[in-house]
Amino acid sequence: MSPEGGSGHRVLQLGAPDAHGNQTNIPVTGLESLVTHHPKGNRHAAMIDGVIVGVESRTKRSYAYIGGEFQEIETRRTDEYGALAPDQVLLIKDFIIESRGAGDAGWSRQLDVPSPISGTISRRDDRNGLVEISNESGEVIARMRHLSGIEVNAGDDVSYGQPLGTQDNLGLGLPPGRAVHVHMEIDTRHYAQFERYVADLVEGRLLHTAPSRGGSQELAVAHDGTFRLGESHARIGVLQQVMHGEGYRAAGGGPLDRDGVYRASMQGALLDFQRAHGLPQTGDIDPATLRLAPAPRPRERDLADHFEPGRPLPRQADQATAPGHRDHPDHRHRLPPEAEAPVNRQGARPASTGLLDRLLPALDGGDPGAVARALSDLARSEEMQAWLRQGHVALELQQPQAAAGRDHARAPEPLPQG
């Protein structure tokens, strides 16, 4: 709690369940401290062969591994408004803001929710208490849900910290006053901006001093050098080329895309790549991972103005590389004595119960009835059904991209500044 002007505030969240399934409200210290959306329903999340399983709902919700944790996300496949670009990803988080004045006995949640970013209101949905903010190109960059008394309309320009509406529970079908909280969906391209937003909430720079309509714009927040799921960049394309050359495959066994877009189908391969090279399995393309896919080196003739005329140009020593890894620096010195447990676990292979041993003799014997019975048993086996389910999910990860086509993919982002 940080007092300000005679009043106090705090930012909380409903924490992950304990061993008995009980949850309590715990303090929020920053964006990274916010737990997975619906932590109880998603506590058994795991990744098998590049596919996330054990989650609350695969049909109505999307999931990813971001920042070293399984997270719920919004994608075009599950977006109820159909407003997201083919590869766009919004990271979903919940939190609670509370305040009380000097002498007040309890904490109040009847607070205005400040805008997390400047932009234009592209959608207002009073039934779900939703406010959607887009950039100048019309791309959705943020959504806030469950608000009442919404103060902005579609087409309005909003500034950072401007009140959007009152924290509430609209859209949940709950009685008034119950489970009041803020639901935030953030575009992964603006992760650094939302780190700043949560920090400003925690430190009290927004809760009691939110500017009015038409307030000043926030200073631009520089990209943090880490590319997360849904982002695109030329450096991602270089990494994809390196991973492809080392034999890494997309979910479902297909080749990795090499177009500079970080899609969900690449996540399992990225986690395996990070583990094999002694890096933390974050699921993000961070600077440490990018060092294993270096940008092209400058040509010697581009460096001539750095040396005295008439002197020979010094040759740049070739960077040491490990056997089998000619495209990136030698990483063997970073490998730990014992590798971390893999986040992307290898699944059970189908038909390991001997059902194929029955099928092959039936085929050799030419008995149609025996072949039909063996195929039927194989198709109904638990392992085959599990393998088919994983295959369907792997295809689902590729579906938005295939449906939209390559020509409609978002253009790669420019180089980060700052």
For the segment 224-246, what is each residue's pLDDT rounded down to a tens digit? 999 999 999 999 999 999 999 99
Q: Residue 143 pLDDT more than 60?
A: yes
Is 401 exposed, middle or buried, given 0-12, 13-18 or 19+ CB atoms closer than 10 A? buried
Q: How many CB atoms lie within 10 A of CB 302?
A: 9
d(CA 398, CA 343): 21
Confirm whether pTM is higher than 0.95.
no
For the segment 21-76, what is each residue's pLDDT rounded down to a tens digit? 999 999 999 999 999 999 999 999 999 999 999 999 988 999 999 999 999 999 99
Q: Report the pLDDT value the prediction gives residue 352, as an integer from 0 to 100.
A: 44
Of the pLDDT bands very low, low, confident and very high (cuts 50, 70, 90), residue 5 is very low
Are 239 and 389 contacting, i.e. CB atoms less than 8 angstroms apart? no
Domains of the chain: 7-202 (2.70.70)
Q: For the residues 129-142, what does the mean pLDDT come to?
A: 97
Taking each continuous run of H as one helix and of E as one strand, the counts in the chain are: 7, 16
For the segment 169-211, what is each residue's pLDDT rounded down to a tens digit? 999 999 999 999 999 999 999 999 999 999 999 998 887 554 5
Q: Which helix (H) or strand (E) holds 385?
A: helix 382-404
Q: Report the pLDDT value the prediction gives residue 216, as an integer from 0 to 100.
A: 43
Q: Report the pLDDT value the prediction gives residue 160, as an integer from 0 to 100.
A: 95
Of the pLDDT bands very low, low, confident and very high (cuts 50, 70, 90), residue 94 is very high
d(CA 10, CA 97): 6
Write the CA distances from 279 to 200, 230, 309, integer angstroms. Answer: 31, 21, 44
Radius of gyration (C-alpha) of the chain in whole angstroms: 26
Q: To 5 degrees, how large is the angle CA 263–CA 38–CA 162?
A: 80
Query: Is the pLDDT higher at 311 or at 407?
Result: 311
Task: For 319-339, give the DSSP string.
Answer: PP--TT-TTS---GGG--SSP
Q: Report the pLDDT value the prediction gives residue 371, as an integer from 0 to 100.
A: 78
